[in-house]
Amino acid sequence: MRAGLAGDEGAYRRLLRELTPFLRTMARSGLARAGRPTAEAEDIVQDVLIAIHTRRSSWIASEPLVPWIRAILKHKLIDFLRRRGTTGHIDIDTFAEVIAAPAEEPGIATRDVVKLAESLPSGQRAVIRAMFVDGHNTQETASALQMSEGAVRVSLHRGLAGLAKMLRGSI
Amino acid sequence: MKTDDLITALSRDAKHTGPSVHGRLALAVALGFASAFALMMATLGMRPDVTAASRNMLFDLKILLVATLAIAAVALVRAAARPEAALPKVVLLVPALILMFAIGHEVATQLPAALPRRLVGDKWAVCLVAIPLLGALPLAAILTAMSAAAPRNATLAGALSGLAAGAIAATFYGLHCTDDSPLFVATWYSLAIGMLAAAGAGIGRRVLAW
C-alpha cells in the first residue's frame, strides 16, 4: 500500500489482487449470514475496491492495513444489506453455496461498472472509459482528453464515487 | 466488468497526491483557528479589560473550558475520519470536569438569589449569533477536509466537526464576551455550539456518506 501511494502501479495492483479473495470470502459469509444470495458478493467486492482506492488517504501509513480494510468491508456490507432491507433470515442453501464455491471465481459483479459508467456526466464518463476500457493511465488519459492530470484525477474520483453509488444500488 | 479488470484500472491511478486525511484536518483546524480569531478581532474585538480579566479565575476557567473542548473535539474528529478507529470519548472528561468544578465554585461563592441573573447574563443573544457565525468557516474547512475521510457514521462525524468548529469559535468569542459566569457558559455557549453541531450533523449526513 505504501508503494502504491508512492506511485508503484505494480505493487498496488498486486496488493488489490491479493486482497480480493479475502474480501470475497468476507462478503460471501456476510451475505450468507443475512440470507442473501452470495452471487451479490462481487458487487460488494467491487464497491469495496473502489472505496479502498478513493478513501486511501484515510489510512494512516504507520497503522496496520488489515483492520482498515476490514472496517471498509464491514461498512460497505452493512450499507448493502440495509439498502436491500435484509430481514436477517438465514437460508441453509446459501451456506451450501459458500461451501461449494469453486476455487476459481469468475469475479463478475451483477452490475457492470462499464455499463453503469454510461449514466455518468460526460467528462467523468470519458475519463472512466479511457482508463477502464482503453487502458490508459492518468498521464495518457490527460493527454488524450487534453486535460490536466489533476483534472483527470478529480473526474476519476467523482466518477468512481458515482459508480460506487450505483453498485450499491442507491441510484 | 471483471473485478480483476477493475483492479488493473484502479492501479493506473495508484499514485496518491496531496496530504493524508489527518494532514488535511490539521490544515483545516489551523485555518479555522486563524479565521475565527481574525473575524472576532475585525468585528467584535477583544474585551477592553482583557488584561484584568485574565486574573479573574472565572474568565480563565471559561477560556480553558472551551479550549479543552476544542482540543477534545478535534481528537474525536481525527478518530472519526478513520473507519477502524474507536472514538476516544474519554477526552471529553477534561472539559466536563472543568465545567463541573466551575459550576460548583459559582454555586458555592454566589448568593442563590444572584444565580438566575448571572445565568441569563448581559449578552446571551450576541453569544447565540456570534459563535455560529465565527464557527461557520471552521466548520466548512473541517467538513471539506473530512470529505476524503471514511467515517463509519457520517452524521456523527459531521456533528463532531460542528462541535470542533463551535468550540474553536467559542474560544475566541470568549475573549470578547464579558459574561464569565459558568452558568452563562454552560447555557448559552452550549446552545450556540450545539447549533453548529446540529448543522454539522445535517450536512455531514449528506456529504460525508461514502
Task: Summarize pLDDT for B71-97 with one digit per residue, the tens.
Answer: 999 999 999 999 999 999 999 999 999
From the list B32, B109, B33, B101, the residue with the least C-alpha distance to B65 is B101
- B168-180 pLDDT, tens digit per residue, is 999 999 999 999 9
List of chain A residues whose C-beta atoms are within 8 Å of the C-beta of residue B79: none
**Cα of B84 to nearest chain A Cα, Å:** 5
pLDDT in tens, chain A (171 residues): 777 777 788 888 999 999 999 999 999 999 888 888 888 888 889 899 999 999 998 998 888 899 999 999 999 998 888 887 765 444 444 444 444 444 455 566 667 777 788 888 888 888 888 887 887 888 888 888 888 888 888 888 888 888 877 777 654
List of chain B residues whose C-beta atoms are within 8 Å of the C-beta of residue A51: 150, 210
CB contact under 8 A, A107 and B3: yes
- Which of A55, A69, A155 is the best residue to mutate to test the B interface, defined by the most B CB atoms within 10 Å of its own CB? A55
Q: What's the ipTM?
A: 0.83
Cell numbers that stand for A171 in this block: 441510484
List of chain A residues whose C-beta atoms are within 8 Å of the C-beta of residue B24: 57
Q: What pLDDT is stored for residue A99 in this prediction?
A: 46
Cell numbers that stand for B198 in this block: 446540529
Q: Which of B26-30, B33-37, B117-121 has the lowest mean pLDDT?
A: B117-121
Q: What pLDDT is stored for residue A90 in this prediction?
A: 46
Please determine, for residue B129, whether its predicted confidence score (pLDDT) is greater than 80.
yes
How many angstroms separate the CA atoms of A59 and B88, rounded? 18
CB pairs under 8 A between A and B: 129
From the list B65, B29, B41, the residue with the least C-alpha distance to B139 is B29
Q: B-contacting residues of A 58-77, CB under 8 Å?
A: 58-61, 63, 67-68, 70-72, 74-75
Nearest to B3 among A9, A20, A57 (CB): A20
**Residues in a beta bridge with B63:** none
CB contact under 8 A, A58 and B20: yes
* Residue A56 · residue A1 · CB < 8 Å: yes
How many angstroms separate the CA atoms of A59 and A133, rounded? 29
For cell 468512481, name the residue. A160
CB contact under 8 A, B13 and A153: yes
Q: How many residues does chain B have?
A: 210
Give, as one character, the DSSP assignment of residue B210: -
Q: B23-45 in b/e burial notation, b at 16+ Cβ within 10 A? A: ebbeebbebbbebbbebbeeebe
Give all domains of chain A, ordered by start, each with its CATH number.
1-106 (1.10.1740), 111-171 (1.10.10.10)
Nearest to A55 among B6, B11, B210 (CB): B210
List of chain B residues whose C-beta atoms are within 8 Å of the C-beta of residue A5: 14-16
Nearest to A75 among B6, B15, B152 (CB): B152
Cell numbers that stand for A16 in this block: 488489490
Q: What pLDDT is stored for residue B33 in this prediction?
A: 96
CB contact under 8 A, A13 and B8: yes
**Cα of A40 to nearest chain B Cα, Å:** 13
Nearest to B83 among A45, A53, A71 (CB): A71
Q: What pLDDT is stored for residue A108 in this prediction?
A: 66
How many angstroms separate the CA atoms of B194 and B200, rounded? 10
CB contact under 8 A, A16 and B7: yes
Please determine, for residue B157, whether its predicted confidence score (pLDDT) is greater than 90.
yes
